[in-house]
Every structure is written in C-alpha cells, then in structure tokens.
C-alpha cells in the first residue's frame, strides 16, 4: 500500500493550486504529501491575470482594474476591457490563504526538504526527499528541469524587476493599470514597463524584458529610476518593496506524463505561455482538469491537444522575435492598435475562435510571420530527421 494517494513535488503556485482544487472537487480527504524545499511565506512575487467574474482566489485579490493603459509611439490609449478585470494577487497573501486552508485539512502532510528523485513503481511512484523514500499512487512534479532549448525550438526569458513606490503627490490613476508602456529604450530587446496602481500615491512599477538572457541588477535599477523620473515625473519617492523574477518563454515540449504514474504540472508541465510568460490562470485550468479527472476516473491525465494553433502561433511569434524579423514593440503596438482589447486578451488567453484568430493575424506583419512559420516548420522537420 502506498504511503499517500498523491505526492506533490513543489509548494509554489502549481502545487498549492492543485491541493486547493482537489478540495473543491470533493477530494479533500485524500492523503496528500506536499513537499517544498523552502516553506513559502514572503511576498516574493506578484501574479497578474484577467478573467470574467469571480475566481477561486477572489478573497485574496489585492487589486483589480477594468481599464488598462497602453502607451506607445503613436500615443496613449485607455482601454476598457469589460467584461474582463485585470487582477493582482500578492505572493504572501496566496501563501497565507493556503496555509489557513491546509491547517484545516489533516489529510495533507507538508514536508520541507529537497526532492532528489521521482521514480516509477509498478503500482505508483516513489519520491526521494533528503534520502527518505515516500510512495504514492500518483506523483505530481512542479519542479522545472529545462536548461536549454532542444533542436527546432526557441527559449527566451521574461525577466523583470519591480519597485512598489509611494509618492508624496497623487500621481497614479487608481482606475487603470498600465499594461504595457513602450516609451522606453528597447536596448536591442523587447522592453516595456507596467504600472499597477494600488491608490493615487502607491504603485508597483515593473521594468520588463523579453530576451535570451538576464541583465545585471543595476541595469534594471537604472531603468526604473529613469522611467519614474521621465514618465511619472517623480524625483522624490519611497521604495516599499522590491521584486525580481525570471520566467521561461519557450516553445520546447514539456512532457505531461514522463512515466505512467508521474505527471508534470505548472511550468514543468508547459503551463507558462510561451509568448507572454503568463502562468497563473493556466495553472488553475490545469488543476481543475486534474482534480476532475481524479474524481471521475481515478487517474489524473486528460487529453492533450498537442500542437494546437495557439501553440503554433506562440512558436511563430518567438521565432519572429528571435530572428529579428519584427521587434516586439512594433508587434504589440500593431496588436493593440488594430484590435479590440477584448479580442487581444481572448487571443492571449487561448480562448479565441479560429475566425477571431484569422482576423487578428490579418493585422500583424504577414511577411514576417509567414517567413517564421516556414522557419519553424523547417527547423522542426530537420530536428526530427536528425533525431531519427
């Protein structure tokens, strides 16, 4: 008999979200082992996403906006995104929310330690943590292993640094978040700033890059200081909080099922969107599907569409950026300048119809995207031939 019904390796957004949705699916009595190397409690990150109506983490939405600013070379636009709301969850609030929930679920065991191995067993999986072996009917791994791009694929990074600042004057517009501000030097990369106002005096200002490699910390700091001075007109302000992060942006395949009783989840399971880095809502959808499968069939795996048209478009966009056929600044300015924000958000959320996608793609640089489509197809074919 296994020690646990489910073993979850990694106690970040993916692992904690899966535990949460298991409870919502009526599986709160299952024996769960949740392993993390460090017990998370700090406000170490911010998750942003958009959705219609209320979601499962509505009690801890710190801020939300129905309007977004988009700034570019051709001016500024304040966009109404109804029925969507752009929402923000702070990492510390999420961890405390889950700590409270799990304190009332005695069937969940939390273990602090380093996962050394996840191995297949005839009737389940074995997870080794600091030399100790635990067995489970199913194991879920949220620890990414990708370090380089396999042949035929592209790997970029979304890397960013943000300051929560408080200004003496009411300089922020609390009714609208700045989704993308491209009025900054691109420095040979895709670079923009977003501003999430908490009130008229306080906001998170984040300097964001899409590129193959991260930068020295002083580069982000200099960029933030320059933006705050030039675009916000502030020379005096207090930095209340600092965050830094790196998110993989890759079209490399992530195996959902590395072995019969092991499933990859979160970023390790390909839930980070290749073209934008958005992950949180994709994790929620995956968690709902896993919990539903376990409840209805006793196993967690669901049908994966494989190379969907949205995944193909992600690959093509990454190739466009990587080859320099078009800059990200120009692409996003076209995207938001020639489409409704609702259509763009549905597209980025992979919730758009084929007709909507065709209409949206008609507004981009078609020669660049056609060339990259052929490039992606050729590279994949060559990788298959070389790989045998």
Tell which phi-psi region holds residue 163, choosing left (phi > 0), alpha (psi between -120 and 50) or beta.
beta
Indicate whether 12 and 129 sit together in one domain: yes
Q: What percent of the chain clears pLDDT 90, i.e. is strictly above it? A: 84
Mean predicted confidence (pLDDT) in 160-182: 97
- Which pLDDT does position 308 carry in this prediction? 81
**Is 220 contained in some domain?**
yes
**Is 178 contained in some domain?**
yes
Indicate whether 42 and 109 sit together in one domain: yes
**Is 369 contained in some domain?**
yes
Per-residue pLDDT band for 255 (boundaries 50, 70, 90) equals confident
328-340 pLDDT tens trace:
999 999 999 999 9
Indicate whether 267 and 329 sit together in one domain: no
Mean of the per-residue pLDDT values for the chain? Answer: 93
Indicate whether 12 and 132 sit together in one domain: yes
83-124 pLDDT tens trace:
999 999 999 999 999 999 999 999 999 999 999 999 999 999
242 alpha carbon, distance to own chain's centre: 19
Q: Which helix H or strand E contains 371, and what residues bound it?
A: helix 366-387
Lowest mean pLDDT among 3-12, 25-34, 239-248, 377-386: 377-386
Indicate whether 276 and 134 sit together in one domain: yes
Tell me which of 233, 249, 265 is where a domain ends: 249
Indicate whether 118 and 180 sit together in one domain: no
- Which pLDDT does position 379 carry in this prediction? 76
Tell me which of 249, 264, 279 is where a domain ends: 249
With contact defined as beta carbons under 8 Å apart, do 150 and 79 qualify? no
Per-residue pLDDT band for 386 (boundaries 50, 70, 90) equals low
**Is 304 contained in some domain?**
no
Nearest-angstrom CA–CA distance, 116 and 231:
48
Count of all residues that appear for the chain in the document? 388
Q: In 3D, which of 294, 268, 262 has the Cα closest to residue 120?
A: 262
**CATH number of the domain within which 293 lies:** 3.50.50.60
Indicate whether 266 and 331 sit together in one domain: no
Indicate whether 199 and 54 sit together in one domain: no
Per-residue pLDDT band for 187 (boundaries 50, 70, 90) equals confident
Indicate whether 125 and 262 sit together in one domain: yes
Rg (C-alpha) for the chain, rounded Å, is 22
For residue 211, give every residue at least 6 positions away whose Cβ sits within 8 Å of its Cβ, in sequence order, or none.
156, 157, 159, 188, 189, 190
**Is 240 contained in some domain?**
yes
**CATH number of the domain within which 242 lies:** 3.30.9.10
Per-residue pLDDT band for 147 (boundaries 50, 70, 90) equals low
**Is 99 contained in some domain?**
yes
**Is 149 contained in some domain?**
no
**Is 167 contained in some domain?**
yes
Indicate whether 53 and 111 sit together in one domain: yes
Per-residue pLDDT band for 253 (boundaries 50, 70, 90) equals confident
- Which pLDDT does position 173 carry in this prediction? 95
**Cα torsion at 215, 217, 223, 224 (round to 10°)?**
140
Domain count, the chain: 3
Query: Which residue segment(s) compose the domain that 105 sits in?
Result: 4-66+80-144+254-297
Indicate whether 275 and 380 sit together in one domain: no
- Which pLDDT does position 254 carry in this prediction? 85
- Which pLDDT does position 148 carry in this prediction? 61
Indicate whether 8 and 62 sit together in one domain: yes
């Amino acid at each position: 008999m296994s020690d646990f019904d489910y073993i979850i390796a990694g106690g970040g957004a993916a692992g904690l979200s899966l535990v949460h949705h298991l409870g919502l699916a009526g599986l709160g009595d299952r024996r769960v082992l949740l392993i993390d190397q460090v017990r998370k409690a700090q406000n170490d990150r911010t998750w942003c996403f958009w959705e219609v109506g209320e979601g499962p983490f509505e009690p801890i939405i710190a801020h939300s906006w129905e309007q977004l600013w988009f700034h570019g070379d051709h001016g500024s636009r304040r966009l109404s995104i109804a029925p969507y709301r752009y929402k923000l969850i702070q990492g510390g609030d999420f961890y405390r929310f889950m700590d409270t929930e799990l304190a009332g679920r005695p069937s969940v065991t939390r273990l602090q330690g380093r996962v050394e191995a996840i191995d297949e067993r005839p009737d389940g999986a074995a997870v080794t943590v600091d030399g100790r072996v635990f067995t489970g009917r199913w194991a879920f791994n949220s620890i990414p292993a990708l370090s380089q791009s396999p042949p035929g694929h592209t790997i970029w990074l979304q890397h960013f640094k943000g300051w929560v600042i408080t200004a003496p004057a009411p300089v922020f517009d609390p009714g609208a978040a700045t989704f993308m501000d491209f009025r900054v030097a691109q420095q040979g990369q895709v670079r923009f700033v977003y501003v999430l106002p908490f009130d008229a005096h306080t906001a998170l200002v984040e300097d964001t890059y899409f590129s193959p490699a991260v930068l020295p910390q002083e580069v982000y700091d200099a960029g933030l200081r320059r933006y705050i001075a030039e675009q916000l007109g502030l020379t005096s302000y207090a930095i209340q909080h600092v965050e830094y992060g790196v998110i993989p942006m890759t079209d490399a395949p992530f195996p959902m099922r590395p072995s019969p009783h092991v499933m990859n989840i979160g970023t390790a399971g390909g839930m980070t969107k290749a073209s934008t880095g958005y992950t949180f809502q994709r994790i929620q959808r995956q968690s709902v599907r896993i919990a539903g499968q376990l409840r209805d069939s006793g196993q967690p795996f669901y049908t994966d569409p494989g190379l969907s048209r949205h995944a193909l478009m992600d690959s093509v966009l990454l190739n466009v950026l990587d080859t320099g056929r078009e800059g990200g600044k120009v692409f996003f300015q076209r995207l938001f300048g020639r489409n409704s924000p609702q259509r763009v958000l549905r597209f980025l959320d992979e919730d758009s119809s084929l007709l909507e996608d065709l209409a949206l793609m008609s507004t981009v640089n078609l020669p660049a995207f056609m060339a990259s489509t052929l490039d992606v197809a050729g590279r994949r074919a060559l990788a298959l031939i070389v790989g045998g």
